Amino acid sequence: MAALLEIRELTVDFTSDEGPLRAVDGVTFDIHPGEIFGLVGESGCGKTVTALSILRLIPSPAGRFVSGRIVFQGRNLLELPIPEMRAIRGRSISMIFQEPMTALSPLHRVGWQLVEAIRLHQSVPRRQAWQRSAEWLRRVGLPDPERAMLAYPFQLSGGMRQRVMIAMAMLLDPALIIADEPTTAVDVTIQAQIFELMRAVRRPEAALLLITHDLGVVWEMCSRMAVMYAGEIVEIGAVPQVFSRPLHPYTEALLQAIPSLDAPQPRLRPVAGSPPSPRCFPPGCRFHDRCRYAFERCRREHPPLSAVQERQARCFLAEERAKTSHEKP
Amino acid sequence: MKFLLDVSHLKTWFPIRRGILARTAGFVRAVDGVSLQIQAGETVALVGESGCGKTTLARSLLRLDPVLSGEIYFEGQNILALTERRLREVRRRLQIVFQDPFAALNPRMSVADIVTEGLLEHGLIAAREKFDAARRLLSEVGLAPEAAERYPHEFSGGQRQRISIARALALRPRLLVCDEPVSALDVSVQAQILNLLVDLRERHGLAYLFISHDLRVVRHLAHRTAVMYLGRIVEEGTTSAVLERPRHPYTRALLSAVPRPGPKRERIVLSGEVPSPVSPPAGCRFRTRCPFATPACAEIEPALEVASGSDGVIPHRVACLRHREI
């Protein structure tokens, strides 16, 4: 199947007070129509910068595309003129942010914002846009859509605001929806509602890129996943396979670090140390100093992202790990 | 039995003031009749979603929030009746670790000053002993002794949380209140801090009141668990009883909402949101979202009573009229 989105060797630098840093380094992956793809990693690994790059929302001049391509429906987004990029944003690719309070305008009523979003892309009479917006608010489960249309964002609860964001992201029937930690700011029972909703209202052909630090969420929502570490992708594969046999030791460590709900473990196995600074990555594998399996070569040589069966991993041991069964998380 | 901490019928309400005369127009009933006991060396988890009152309960223990009524006994002393001076003495042995390691540390103080501030304040060490004491505390929480001369901004979130814990430990407390101590941290770092808390508990016989919304973390750490909803405890018992055989519909919904690997489970998706603590629903407070609610639930306020089938020394209590049938 042809990919809907192809990211190839994406590299993004940022300048900071303490010198330049590489936020995203050679990221390559595909998203196919209709799939829910999970992008996982810890804070600072580059997952949000990858997402913002797709929409060309990297702040300039602090951030800079160094190299790479992002091909969406046959066009390289990084080379599109600004007006064409604007036509894609919100219309063909939409985004659900972590904190809806910062993504919605605090000065405008919810209804006005939804109507504007429609009329920015389509020449629809205001009245019709209003009805369509209200209809979407009903579909995302706002109890009184007509009243919510007249409310300001601050008058709604966190869960309700996130529903408004979802409605706004779905309004124009985009081909790709990017959700960056969409439920981090809400409680777990509300999170369950929101995921249920995102599954229910999504058109089957639309793809969803879900960015999260929570592997449980990936398990429940996604069919394929990529794991990021220190600006790079370290593993890509189908969710059940990655969970049952992680090829990269970092993925394995992440899975083992989560306490289990089913039975208490005597002791957790944390990943020692912390990720390297994006200002100066160590030579060799970027995970080697925290890795239980590291050997001499890992300290010298930077492993490429290589194909192992139907998966990909950035580890010299991946081939071997795919064959032998090792400890399950 | 003598408890280290014995809270009974605690109510902490915040007045809502309106108009130019700032008349009280109502109350936010953040904690609305909670009883809770902790023994020496025991870890009790307080679980619930935002706004359920768990943080207010923790702050009330240290008298950081205005208690309306009820009693709090710590080491046999009535906290609510103490003078400010006596309260300061008690706070040595009842310390708190906050959620946000970035907000909890003064950026202008060196790490040595931060962790020894309490010791100097209480006259437990002389000024010249400061660095020695700081190095000792830092190594206890797994930080290099050289950290003493540095400043908070030089540390990562996990390291800062270790500094917060070192500061809390300095005065050799018997009870450490931990308010979501790992929820701001990445999973790999979170596990480091959880292991540290387990080590310290074993080494010093510390008791924890562990406040969290993450049931996985609670499962790992707590001996007993209490579930709060809208200012009340709705279920309590040993952690294994509450999380393996939950009896309250809210606890069941919370558990089923935790995303986790494994076979597909039946999920109870609650409708609606938590009602306002200004005017909680009559009868059972959870009934507006409960899939099992009957008209009787609006009439009768369920008491926290020993659940049917509860065995063992520590009773499993639940506040639900229908817990026997559902």
Whether residue B49 and residue A259 make contact (CB cut-off 8 A), yes or no, is: no
Nearest to B258 among A193, A216, A254 (CB): A216
Residue B255 with chain A: CB contacts under 8 Å: 261
Q: Taking CB atoms and an 8 Å limit, are A43 and B273 in contact across chains?
A: no
Range of lowest pLDDT (A31-35, A65-69, B154-158, B252-256): B154-158
Q: Amino acid identity of B70?
A: G
CA atoms within a 13 Å half-sphere pointing along the CA-CB vector of B55: 11
Task: Determine whether the interchain pair B269/A193 forms a contact, defined as Cβ–Cβ distance below 8 Å.
Answer: yes
Contacts of A182 in chain B (CB under 8 A): none
Instruction: Label residue A58 by pLDDT band (50, 70, 90).
Output: very high
Determine how many CB atoms are found less than 10 A away from the CB of residue B315: 16
A196, B254: Cβ pair inside 8 Å? no
A81-95, B57-71, B140-154, B269-283: the lowest-pLDDT one = B269-283
User: Is there a contact between A188 and B213 if contact means CB atoms under 8 Å apart?
Assistant: yes
Residues A30 and A26: their CA atoms lie apart, in Å, by: 13
Complete DSSP assignment for B231-258:
TEEEEEEEHHHHHHS--SHHHHHHHHHS
Q: Which residues contact A133 (CB under 8 A, 6 or more apart)?
A: A111, A114, A115, A118, A149, A167, A171
Cβ contact, residue pair B156, A261, below 8 Å: no
Please report, rounded to a whole number, the percentage of residues in chain B having pLDDT higher than 90.
71
Average the pLDDT over A240-256 and give the result: 94
Which residue in B49, B243, B259 is closest to A216 by CB distance? B259
What's the pTM? 0.87
pLDDT for residue B99: 82
Q: In what order do the strands lie in the sheet with B43-47?
A: B94-97, B175-179, B207-212, B43-47, B224-229, B232-238, B317-318, B305-306
Token pair, residue A252, equals: 């394995």
Please give the pLDDT value at position A37.
97
Write the residue in A262, A268, A271 that is nearest to B194 by C-beta: A268
CB contact under 8 A, B187 and A257: yes
Three-state DSSP class for residue A51: helix
Q: How confident is the model at residue A325 (pLDDT cuts 50, 70, 90)?
A: low
Confidence of residue A203 (pLDDT cuts 50, 70, 90): confident
Given this model, what pLDDT does residue B1 score? 59
Is some CB atom of chain B closer than 8 A to the CB atom of A184?
A: no
Report yes or no: B210 and B42 within 8 Å, Cβ to Cβ: no
Burial class (CB in 10 A: 0-12, 13-18, 19+), B26: middle
Residue B266 has pLDDT above 80, yes or no: no
Nearest to B220 among A157, A253, A268 (CB): A268
Q: Rounded distance, CA B38 to CA B243, Å?
A: 19
Say how far apart CA A128 and CA A115 lie, in whole Å. 9
- If we measure between CA atoms, which residue out of B71, B66, B74 comes closest to residue B29? B66
pLDDT category at A1 given cuts 50, 70, 90 is low
Cβ of residue B196 closer than 8 Å to a chain A Cβ: no
Q: CB-based contact (8 Å) between A283 and chain B?
A: no
Q: Containing H/E element for A226?
A: strand A224-229
DSSP H or E stretch at residue A103: helix A100-103
Q: Which region, left, alpha or beta, applies to residue B76 given φ > 0 means left and ψ of -120 to 50 means alpha?
A: left
Cβ contact, residue pair B261, A219, below 8 Å: yes
Distances (CA, A) of B250 to A44, A140, B47, B229, B285: 35, 23, 11, 8, 11
The string of pLDDT tens digits covering residues B190-247 is: 888 999 999 999 999 999 999 998 899 999 999 999 999 999 999 999 999 999 999 9
Residue B38: pLDDT band with limits 50, 70, 90? very high
Distance CA B174, CA B267 (A): 39
SS3 B324: coil
HEC string for B150-207: CCHHHCCHHHHHHHHHHHHHCCCCCEEEEECCCCCCCHHHHHHHHHHHHHHHHHHCCE
Task: Please give the helix or strand (H or E) that residue A50 lies within, else none.
Answer: helix A47-54
**How far is the C-alpha of B172 from the C-alpha of B164, rounded, in Å?**
14
**A246 at B interface, C-beta within 8 A:** no
Cα angle: B175, vertex B229, B233; to 5 degrees? 50
Residue A178 has pLDDT above 60, yes or no: yes
d(CA B125, CA B118): 10
3-class secondary-structure state, position A82 = helix
Q: What is the pLDDT of residue A132?
A: 94
The whole-angstrom distance between B296's CA and the closest CA on chain A is 25
Q: How many CB pairs under 8 A join A and B?
A: 110
For residue B187, the chain A residues in CB contact (below 8 A) are 42, 213, 215, 254, 257-258
Mean pLDDT of A210-218: 92
Q: Is B148 left (phi over 0), alpha (psi -120 to 50) or beta?
A: alpha
Tell me whether B261 touches chain A (CB under 8 Å): yes
Give pLDDT tens digits for B177-201: 999 888 888 888 888 899 999 999 9
Give the helix/strand (H/E) hosting B89. helix B84-92
Total length of chain A: 329
Shortest CB distance from A261 goes to which of B186, B195, B219? B219
